[in-house]
Structure 1
């Protein structure tokens, strides 16, 4: 027997759950299928940063649309998920890094973001915990954080409350074209007929794309992350070194959460994201240079995630180039948490209205039919074997 629905969403991470929620709010029947537990992959184990500073210039319209949804999260889903406008402090240690900060600031300001420039003395006056190494910073008060362990589950719960079906521990085995729609088959023997399919399967999304003659040079990796014991609450903004060696925030309970580069390879087949101990030690050394009071802090847990990365460090978002009714959203290169709600809103635009006002041409899967330039960030932020070479395609 075949179940009928309007849209099947493959993948129960942040983008999949937000897509299901916004679709059902528009009156469409939705079934979300997740091979494991909602929010258990990168959507639930990332750093939780809702950073607006330092984004790719072409990503700002999407990023700002997404931030507006984050700022309205409690009204949308009935749960704040520890969303807080903490602000984001971007720090530089030398003149070259200061120039990068200035470049990022100019781009952000061109999209209407308010950026403060902060010199060395002012930096230490406002945030007394900052050490001697940072020389300058920029600050964006609109940047925020949220708890990734809570969000996808809360969004899925809100979607379910409105009538969406959430099928966990259900692996999609086949997606077939069927007339003007699709037939989706699962490992537990279920068959679902639908008009549209959203491919939001994260690091596993190529299985769906390649079934319809599309692909991308995606590989799996993740940043080393750790959390310290609870300490006196001093670091109120999210803090990032412009070279990526430190991304840190302290939650009101006192724990300091860290992420940093270089990222390392993950294994989507074995579902493993190991963190070599040396990365934790190096991360703690880098963190102490920015916040020396953490010198004696004890690390109590270490982890990473399985994220999809593409050579130009940009995601795939939008309509399939081969199959009407198929929509892709994957390869977010560690940036999916902030843009997730906005990506979902764009997908809903495309499914319901047939178009979107948010520019997404830059993210077309079609770009990989030709060679694409490998991002400079890739070589600087990774030590995974896949992050080599100057072109990919």
Structure 2
């Protein structure tokens, strides 16, 4: 099972119409709905399960500029400004704290990569600092093993994934949002080429526009409209500990293991160096687009052929208005954590920081990260489907970047001046596969 998520009550009255229907109660969908109601737009948010039940509650909780693709920097800068005032904006706790983020460098080559990113990011106004080995050990007391240096962004921070999206959703409801949970979308219908209505398991909702923010489900939702999105899924395993007093303030990545302090006094422990790439029909379909990224990441991305692939062959089909859909059969994507990865993370952490020798694991889980070939999201209107916008494919970056991503999606739907340049996030970029490249910095 996934982590416990703060509860949000659905709106009692089922709506029959709205200006905008947002599909997906993850943090991006919720942030979009919040931005829309703040603009005075009549908005409905639909979630087949409950708010933040999938990757939005299962991620690390980092809110980072550090190491981001340069194309995302304007969006994360806007997001960080929003995170700073999020508790006040929502009138409740989302867990955001500014304690910095540090990436360790274990050799000169990695340190040089950090330096190149720092120089490029400085042109965007990002204040990151290179640390030598001595500075790293002073910032992270008790750090053991060979360390060449590190990259530190003091203004980065962390928030609580099990609290943030629910807090945003509750605030949006208070501003007029109609939230329907346990309400799967079966189909999105058009009239005269334009979006006209959304058919759910509980009835139809007439609307002018729809935002597809379905995370790992977005490709299937778009396929129902005849739109191709080259999206795959990566399984990431995470654990949390019971409260443990350790003198490490910043979020810290040591390569094979990463950690952040939680509000409850425990720690979230994860790793970016051993994720599972689920082998599915789409993995074969989009192999050519993803191959350049896989060649770079193959040491930390392990192909995995398991139940997920078989499930998708047999059961995953776009929904139809009159039939029970896959979205109703699978309310929450809840993959099993990869036990060898969890064991190795704990062992690596205890070697690197002996202060964690007495840690007690309280819970572990896994999530499916929705990823795109260039590892940056799509936040874009959809050509040939007027009234449709998609916000998905955040490739493990979605939690920290969500506030401004939601604002950008809302701006594009309403036709307002966008909060940042949306050009890098256009869906149509995948028409030119030779131009689609991930930027690998850390």
TM-score when normalising by structure 1: 0.90
Q: Counterpart of 1:388?
A: none
Tell which deviates more after alignment, 29-38 or 248-257.
248-257
Q: Counterpart of 2:410?
A: 348
Q: Counterpart of 1:384?
A: none
CA distance in structure 2 between the aligned counterparts of 1:336 and 1:283, rounded to whole angstroms: 23
Relative to 1, partners in 2 of residues 1:68 and 1:376: Cα closer, same or farther, differing over 3 Å? closer
Contact 1:129 1:235 in 2 (8 A): no
1:344-363 CA-to-partner distances (Å, cap 9, x unmatched) read 11011112235425122222
Q: Counterpart of 1:120?
A: 133
CA distance in structure 2 between the aligned counterparts of 1:333 and 1:115, rounded to whole angstroms: 23
Q: Counterpart of 1:175?
A: 188
1:322-360 CA-to-partner distances (Å, cap 9, x unmatched) read 212110001111110011111111011112235425122
Q: Unaligned 5+ residue runs, structure 1? A: 382-393
| Aligned residue among 242, 245, 248 for 2:256 | 245
CA distance in structure 2 between the aligned counterparts of 1:51 and 1:315, rounded to whole angstroms: 16
CA distance in structure 1 between the aligned counterparts of 2:37 and 2:15, rounded to whole angstroms: 21
Q: Counterpart of 1:295?
A: 357
Contact 1:233 1:253 in 2 (8 A): no
Q: Which runs of structure 2 are paired with 1:130-279 in the superposition (5 Å)? A: 130-179=143-192, 180-188=194-202, 190-241=203-254, 244-251=255-262, 253-260=264-271, 261-265=273-277, 267=308, 271-279=333-341
CA RMSD of aligned residues (A): 2.2
| Aligned residue among 340, 358, 372 for 2:420 | 358
Relative to 1, partners in 2 of residues 1:53 and 1:183: Cα closer, same or farther, differing over 3 Å? same
Q: Unaligned 5+ residue runs, structure 2? A: 1-13, 279-307, 317-329
Contact 1:246 1:259 in 2 (8 A): yes
Tell which deviates more after alignment, 55-64 or 106-115.
106-115
1:124-150 CA-to-partner distances (Å, cap 9, x unmatched) read 233322223222112111101000001
Contact 1:174 1:186 in 2 (8 A): yes
**Structure 1 residue 211: deviation in Å?**
2.5
CA distance in structure 2 between the aligned counterparts of 1:304 and 1:107, rounded to whole angstroms: 33
**Structure 1 residue 46: deviation in Å?**
1.0
**Structure 1 residue 227: deviation in Å?**
1.6
Contact 1:8 1:198 in 2 (8 A): yes
TM-score when normalising by structure 2: 0.80
Relative to 1, partners in 2 of residues 1:51 and 1:347: Cα closer, same or farther, differing over 3 Å? same
Aligned residues between the structures = 376
Relative to 1, partners in 2 of residues 1:14 and 1:357: Cα closer, same or farther, differing over 3 Å? closer
Contact 2:21 2:211 in 1 (8 A): yes
Would you say 1:312 and 2:324 are equivalent positions? no
Q: Secondary structure in 1 aligned to 2:118?
A: helix
Contact 1:233 1:254 in 2 (8 A): no
